[in-house]
Amino acid sequence: MSAPNIETIVSLAKRRGFVYPSSEIYGGLGSSWDYGPMGIELYNNVKQAWWRWMVYERDDIEGLDSSIILNRLVWKYSGHEDTFSDPLVDCKECNSRFRADKLEQEYRIENNIPWSVAFVPPAPFDDIKCRNCGEINWTDERPFNLMFRTHVGATAEDDPDALVYLRPETAQGIFINFLNVLNTSRRKLPFGVAQIGKSFRNEVTPGNFIFRTREFEQMEMEYFVKPGEDESAHQEWIDACNQWFQSIGISQANLRLYEQPKEELAHYAKRTVDIQYRFFPERKEEERQWDELMGIANRTDFDLKTHSKKPEDAEGKRLNPDSTEDLSYFDEQTKQRFYPYVIEPAAGVNRTVLALLMDAYSEKTNDKGETRVILKLHHSMAPIKVAVLPLAKNKPEIVGMAKAIKRSLQPVLRAVYDDTGGIGKLYARQDEIGTPFCVTVDHQSLEDEAVTVRDRDSWEQERVKVADLATHLRQRFVLEPGQ
């Protein structure tokens, strides 16, 4: 079967309660989405799996949860106030707005022009057609800062002292807490600090379902190392992250590593490798089918230095006159003081959810020739692990037994009871949300104290004694990454 496109996933997601368009009863809000009963389970499973992998299973990483609204100076010295912007162009014919860098990137791919060939502005915009109306009539390029602004306290809206931003990344909350975590956890290099949380970017062109939204959630970890050990640590994290996505069930064939060319690198980065997923299999050019799921950057010592009061320029002037701390590290062994380098694996929860849904989507034809959707999610990611279904809902003994089985499984597994349809329909519904096993209670169960366990992927059924059910399921589940 060919890979599903995002539209197929959007429709399944709405039908089965994964993701709904936000504010729909008021006409929606562009590119905002709400996670429904199934979606939030999948979403939480992703976060739990990541946290467990990062923080619990390793010995060198601590957790943190910093504020969304930080002192404005954080964003001044991180460089976001000056440089966290996208280049904008408008089509003068139809007023559509685009990111100039994305248009240029697509133009290069379509015309096979490598990044080593530099363009002299305004080229290539003399050749690029508007994606909306097909005309070529662009405004000049201008920067657009992506940070959402708001004001704290009961002050006038234009009071510059009250201006704050919603954070556009979780990373800065980690850097400004470097000394706090170092001192309270008594860590030595190398060590990392992980954080999961919402970030906000006033994206110029959001879209493609939950791929690019203005409100999203990030899973970021800053790994602090001695300068000189940064390159090998970076490579280890690239390999480990690639492996992690496979461990939660994303197929290797749909993942690839993308080495950012020098021209694309952020000003502070020494090297950045993205893990890309084949989000757009329907696109003609192979190169345009891939996009970023995660970025893994070597940020050098830029972040800790820029937030420190110490560094001075050639004339002895402090580069950061506002900071009250020096975020350097003292190495007891070598008796040297320096600013650690930082390796940053940064992934999006929402894009991971999208990749999981796309990767798990499959179709199968039943005996009657009907096509059924099966979401072959890794067991650890499945929103519901077991559905207990009564074959006859008007028979109190069967219903009672099914409900009792559901209750007995509940403490160890996310289990549900469902009697809202015929058994064929109930199975189909569970297949579509990715439930690995269905347990069916029938008339025979009342006599032999046994139930039927049905497998989502093979549709094979097995008779199991109720007394052995929990052990039987435990043996068949593959739950490592999440639970």
Site residues (vs ligand ATP, CB under 6 A): 169, 201, 203, 212-213, 216, 218, 292-295, 346-348, 350-351
The residue whose two tokens read 């010592």 is 301
Q: Taking a C-beta distance cutoff of 8 angstroms, is the pair 187, 198 a contact? A: no
Q: 197 or 295, CB closer to ligand ATP? A: 295
CB of 274 to ligand ATP, least distance (A): 7
Cβ(375)–Cβ(431) under 8 Å? yes
For residue 433 the two structure tokens come to 């949300």
Closer to ligand ATP at the Cβ: 104 or 418? 104
Residues 307, 258 contacting (CB under 8 angstroms) = no
**3-state DSSP assignment of residue 193:** strand
User: Least distance in Å: CB of 147 to ligand ATP?
Assistant: 13
In the complex, minimum distance from the CB of residue 146 to ligand ATP, in angstroms, rounded to a whole number: 9
Nearer to ligand ATP, 188 or 198 (CB): 198
> Which is closer to ligand ATP, CB of 344 or CB of 432?
344
Q: Which is nearer to ligand ATP, 216 or 329 (CB)?
A: 216
By C-beta, is 13 or 439 nearer to ligand ATP?
Answer: 13
Q: Which residue is nearest to ligand ATP (CB)?
A: 348
The strands making up 61-63's β-sheet, listed across from edge to edge, are 61-63, 191-200, 215-225, 341-348, 291-298, 271-277, 255-259
Backbone angles phi, psi at 364, to 5 degrees: -145, 145
The structure tokens 């009907």 sit at 370
Minimum CB separation of residue 240 from ligand ATP in Å reads 16
Phi, psi at residue 164, to the nearest 5°? -140, 170
In contact, 261 and 280? CB cutoff 8 Å = no
Beta bridge partners of 365: 371
How far is it, in rounded angstroms, from Cα 267 to Cα 277?
A: 25
Query: Whose Cβ is closer to ligand ATP: residue 60's or residue 203's?
Result: 203
Instruction: Provide the pairing of β-strand 437-441 with 386-390.
Output: parallel
Pairing of strands 191-200, 215-225: antiparallel
| Shortest Å, Cβ 145 to ligand ATP | 14
- Tell me the closest approach of the beta carbon of residue 403 to ligand ATP, in angstroms: 40
CB 202 → ligand ATP: shortest distance, Å? 9
Of the pair 220, 432, the CB lying nearest ligand ATP is at: 220
User: What single DSSP character describes residue 287?
Assistant: G
Separation CA 321–CA 131 (nearest Å):
46
Q: How far is the CB of 350 from ligand ATP (least distance, A)?
A: 5
Determine phi and psi for 253, rounding to 5 degrees: -65, -25
